[in-house]
């Protein structure tokens, strides 16, 4: 028996709002939105000051354990600071560092990718050889090296992460531009007498933004893990600022004597955020740009 399947999914779905699209990662997006919400309203949400503690109440366990209290639901650390409040403010650090670092990396990489791809010739050679060299350096080691030179601060971390991760953008965007510049509308712009810079700005850039956004979402997870790693290693966000990586570093000595809540909660936060960002990025990648699938 022949069953005529109606044309569904893609064509019909394209008119539906994006959160109704097939396979839209509802849970990861909710988690990301929740973290963003927490980060924005940290001042209101946090029950205690994240940076001031009292030695009288150090190493209190979470509330459901013997000796815990609802005043400090996730316990306190080695100087008596509230873990929950630090996690809440830590979300702000992760979000701010993650997003701005991705923006920095994205701007440098997209710019160089467009210039390199569109102009070709020696400009392309120079940019791509630098990119190759850059990619040959192990990212984390390179970031530690840079952090050791300029010293740890939130701004420096953002710049360092931007400098370390722009190469992926440059590669992908360049590839995109190479095919775009063969497109008929770019040739028409050339024939109409537009200058190279105008063509790059008006005809190439808007057409690569899609890929750049997909890549940015994928990079967000990578950048957050690197930020946490740097903070953990002591070359990231300087204490007493509450960064998740830093909290894990501070708590690691406590693991031996059973103060597990100092490391497990920030660990869960990092994991949830990175996983959510990656799942969203994967979905966007498949949805918007099947060409990026191999990356």
Partner 1 sequence: MSSEPLLSLENLSAHYVSQQGTRVVRAVDDVTLSLKAGGTLGIVGESGSGKSTLALTILRLLPPAARIVSGRMMFEGENLLDKSDTEMRQVRGKRIAMILQDPMASLNPLFTIGDQVGEPLRVHDGASRATAWQRAVALLKSVRIASPETRVSQFPHEMSGGMRQRIVGAIGISCEPRLLIADEPTTSLDLTIQAQYLSLLRELQREHGLALIFITHNLGIVAKMCDQLAVMYAGKVVEQGPVSQIFSTPVHPYTKALLGSIPRMTDNRDHLTAIEGQPPDLASLPPGCSFAARCPMAFGRCRDEAPPEFAVGEGRTARCWLAVPNADAKAAMERSNVA
Could you list the residues that contact partner 1 (CB under 8 A)? Answer: 121, 183-185, 187-195, 198, 202-203, 206-207
Burial of 158 by CB count in 10 Å (0-12 exposed, 13-18 middle, 19+ buried)? Answer: buried
Phi, psi of 136, rounded to the nearest 5 degrees: -75, -25
The closest alpha carbon to 263, from 140, 87, 36, 92, belongs to 87
Nearer to partner 1, 183 or 252 (CB): 183
Residue 112 CA to residue 178 CA, distance in Å, equals: 13
Nearer to partner 1, 214 or 222 (CB): 214
Least spacing, CB of residue 198 vs partner 1, in Å:
7
Nearer to partner 1, 129 or 183 (CB): 183
Rounded (5°) CA angle 15-18-24: 125
Least spacing, CB of residue 285 vs partner 1, in Å:
20
Sign of the dihedral through C-alpha 253, 254, 258, 259: negative
Residue 269 CA to residue 39 CA, distance in Å, equals: 12
Nearer to partner 1, 151 or 193 (CB): 193
Least spacing, CB of residue 183 vs partner 1, in Å:
7
Least spacing, CB of residue 202 vs partner 1, in Å:
8
Least spacing, CB of residue 209 vs partner 1, in Å:
9
Q: At what angle do helices 83-119 and 261-288 cross, to 10 degrees?
A: 30
Least spacing, CB of residue 206 vs partner 1, in Å:
5
Please state, in angstroms and as integers, the Cα–Cα distance from residue 42 to each residue in 86, 265, 266, following that order: 10, 17, 16
Residue 176 CA to residue 183 CA, distance in Å, equals: 11
Nearer to partner 1, 126 or 271 (CB): 126
Nearer to partner 1, 2 or 182 (CB): 182
């Amino acid at each position: 028996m022949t069953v005529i399947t109606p044309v569904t999914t893609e064509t019909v779905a394209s008119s539906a709002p994006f959160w109704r699209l097939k396979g839209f990662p509802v849970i990861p997006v909710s988690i990301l939105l929740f973290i963003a919400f927490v980060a924005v309203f940290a001042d209101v949400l946090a029950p205690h000051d994240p940076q001031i503690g009292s030695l009288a109440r150090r190493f209190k366990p979470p509330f459901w354990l013997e000796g815990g209290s609802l005043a400090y639901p996730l316990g306190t650390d080695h100087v008596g600071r509230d873990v929950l409040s630090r996690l809440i403010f830590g979300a702000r650090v992760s979000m701010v560092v993650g997003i701005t670092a991705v923006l920095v990396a994205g701007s440098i990489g997209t710019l160089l990718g467009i210039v390199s791809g569109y102009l070709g010739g020696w400009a392309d050679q120079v940019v791509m050889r630098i990119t190759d060299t850059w990619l040959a350096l192990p990212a984390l080691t390179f970031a530690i090296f840079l952090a050791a030179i300029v010293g740890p601060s939130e701004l420096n971390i953002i710049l360092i992460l931007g400098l370390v991760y722009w190469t992926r953008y440059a590669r992908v965007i360049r590839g995109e531009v190479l095919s775009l510049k063969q497109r008929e509308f770019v040739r028409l712009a050339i024939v109409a007498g537009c200058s190279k810079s105008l063509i790059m700005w008006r005809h190439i850039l808007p057409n690569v933004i899609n890929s750049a956004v997909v890549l940015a979402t994928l990079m967000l997870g990578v950048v957050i893990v690197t930020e946490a790693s740097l903070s953990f290693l002591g070359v990231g966000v300087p204490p007493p600022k509450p960064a998740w990586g830093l909290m894990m570093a501070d708590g690691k000595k406590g693991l031996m004597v059973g103060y597990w809540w100092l490391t497990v909660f920030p660990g869960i936060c990092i994991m949830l955020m990175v996983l959510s960002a990656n799942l969203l990025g994967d979905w966007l990648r498949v949805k918007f740009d099947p060409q990026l699938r191999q990356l």
